Structure formats: structure tokens, C-alpha cells
């Protein structure tokens, strides 16, 4: 096995981490930014994670500064730290803005950088970060996204201490290479579209028919809701939310958005009510 492959966390560990992060954002925040560890283990077991995987994922997020130990009502648990809340809020910004198509008239944000070969690792981190924000690569060290991504680009550059090595511009397309051709070179639009279609294929057949047993209905709503959120939240990070004028007429993003919004409206209330049962009664948010 190569060093690169051996350094990657196993698929089970990656799924545990991503599902826990989705759980923190979609469940723990609405329930007061604190979670009981025993209840968390039980809830995530319903989504197919074993106790050891959950506790390992919790330990890793605690080491990253996302969780602080805190007991409530005699139960061990964790508070979300300011670091976690800031990261989750930043994720929300990308998820909820990126899936709305940009206005072509607002223009574009371009990032050009010059990082020496000796700092190749830092350069790779910057390009990976820009790609995760939805920037497309249109030339040697030139990345582009809708203009609304300017604040996110500035944050990414500042976090890597590369301000002096980067030039950031906003402006309009005025001519030259055909805009649609440039866009299709800069982004893997076929891959993004395929992911949206996979989401539709997996969750489109869902019909909201609660079971006769309220407990089973709540559990089903919770498991489905967490699965939907965990699957969905990865998609907009690759989608820059390009203006419709530069996309093909059969672009599946809008249909996926409509499906996601319908599923959230159907499931989130019952999912949170189910999860709240695993919190101490006096630690549940009012309302």
C-alpha cells in the first residue's frame, strides 16, 4: 500500500466524521449547541454508526477545538465551541448561497497567485481551498468564481498567509474567449450535474408517509433527514452557482434544490422532535 493511501482515513472513519459534522449543524445547533454523548451515540447508531466510530469522531473534533466537555443534568456531553460555530456558519454561507444561481450582471471574482516551488504544499492547500469554495481553474494559477465569492476567497488567502502572493480582482466579462467555453473548461460541470442527478435518484422516490407507530415515524424522519442533509451539504461546495446563461438547459441543480427544500420541510420538525427525546428534559430548548 502506498504512503498516500495509508495516510487516508478509512471510509468508515470518513463517514463517521462527515455524519457527525452534519449532526452538529442540523441537530445540535437547533437544540441549543450542546449534546449528550450517550444520546448522540444512540441517535447516530440509528443512522448506522457504531459507538466506537462515534466516540472516535467526537475525540477528533474535540482535538480540532470544535467541542468542549460539559455535563448537564448529570449527563456527560459537549458544547459546540466558537470555532465549531464559526465553521458551521461558514459552511452554511457556501451551501445556501452557492445553490442560488448568480446574477450574470454581478460579474466575476478572479484570483491569481504566485507561490514559489519551495512552497508547493501551501500552493496545493490554496488551490484545494479555492476548489472547495467553487472556484474554477481557467489558466496557470488563475481561478474564477461569481463575484459573490470574493469574501470567501479573501478569507482563504488570509488564513494561509498568502495575501502578498495573491492578486484578487472583480469585474465583468467583456469579450474574447466565449464565456460558455471558458466556464466548461474551468469546472467539471458534468461531474457536478451527475452528483445532483444521483441525489435526485436516491431521494426523489421518498414519500412522506408517517408510520402508524409515532416512535417509528420519528426515527424514520430523523434517519432520513440526517442522511439527506449529509448527502446534500457536500454538493454545493463544488457548485459555484453559475448564472443560468452559461449552463445547459437540462442542468439538474434547480430540480435537486427543489427536492432538498421539500424534504427539509417535510422532515426537519419531526426529526428534531425525535432527537430531543435523547436530551435531558431540562436541557431541551423551549418552544
Q: Where are the domains of the chain?
A: 3-87, 108-171, 188-283
Whole-model pTM? 0.81
Residue 78 β-bridge partners: 35, 69
pLDDT digits (tens, 9 = 90+) for 51-77: 999 999 999 999 999 999 999 999 999
Report the percentage of the chain scoring pLDDT > 90: 62
The CATH-assigned architecture of domain 3-87 is: Orthogonal Bundle (1.10)
Q: Which of 106-115, 200-209, 257-266 is the least confident region?
A: 200-209
Tell whether the torsion through CA atoms of 90, 93, 96 and 99 is positive or negative: negative
Buried-exposed string 202-232: b where 16+ CB fall within 10 A, e elsewhere: ebeeeeeeeeeeeeebbbbbbbbbbbbbbbb
CATH class (in words) of the domain with range 108-171: alpha beta
pLDDT digits (tens, 9 = 90+) for 129-167: 898 888 999 988 899 999 998 998 999 899 888 888 899
- Residues 121 and 29: their CA atoms lie apart, in Å, by 34
- Residues 131 and 147: their CA atoms lie apart, in Å, by 15
More confident residue, 248 or 213: 248
DSSP class of residue 109 equals E
Amino acid at each position: 500500500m502506498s504512503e498516500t493511501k495509508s495516510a487516508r482515513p478509512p471510509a468508515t472513519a470518513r463517514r463517521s466524521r462527515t455524519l457527525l459534522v452534519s449532526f452538529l449543524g442540523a441537530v445540535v445547533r437547533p437544540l441549543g449547541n450542546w449534546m449528550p454523548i450517550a444520546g448522540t451515540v444512540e441517535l447516530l447508531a440509528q443512522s448506522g454508526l457504531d459507538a466506537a466510530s462515534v466516540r472516535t469522531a467526537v475525540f477528533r473534533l474535540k482535538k480540532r477545538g470544535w467541542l468542549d466537555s460539559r455535563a448537564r443534568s448529570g449527563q456527560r456531553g459537549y458544547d459546540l465551541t466558537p470555532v465549531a460555530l464559526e465553521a458551521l456558519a461558514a459552511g452554511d454561507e457556501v451551501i445556501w448561497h452557492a445553490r442560488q444561481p448568480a446574477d450574470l450582471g454581478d460579474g466575476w471574482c478572479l484570483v491569481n497567485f504566485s507561490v514559489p516551488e519551495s512552497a508547493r504544499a501551501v500552493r496545493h492547500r490554496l488551490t484545494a481551498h479555492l476548489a472547495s469554495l467553487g472556484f474554477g481553474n481557467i489558466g496557470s494559477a488563475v481561478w474564477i468564481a461569481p463575484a459573490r465569492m470574493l469574501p470567501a476567497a479573501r478569507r482563504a488567502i488570509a488564513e494561509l498567509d498568502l495575501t502578498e502572493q495573491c492578486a484578487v480582482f472583480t469585474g465583468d466579462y467583456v469579450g474574447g474567449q466565449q464565456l460558455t467555453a471558458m466556464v466548461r473548461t474551468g469546472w467539471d460541470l458534468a461531474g457536478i450535474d451527475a452528483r445532483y442527478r444521483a441525489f435526485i435518484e436516491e431521494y426523489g422516490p421518498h414519500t412522506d408517509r408517517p408510520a402508524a407507530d409515532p416512535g417509528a415515524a420519528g426515527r424514520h424522519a430523523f434517519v432520513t433527514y440526517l442522511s439527506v442533509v449529509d448527502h446534500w451539504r457536500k454538493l454545493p461546495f463544488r457548485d459555484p452557482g453559475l448564472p443560468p446563461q452559461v449552463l445547459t438547459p437540462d442542468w439538474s441543480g434547480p430540480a435537486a434544490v427543489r427536492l432538498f427544500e421539500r424534504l427539509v420541510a417535510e422532515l426537519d420538525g419531526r426529526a428534531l422532535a425525535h432527537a430531543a427525546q435523547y436530551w435531558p428534559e431540562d436541557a431541551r430548548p423551549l418552544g
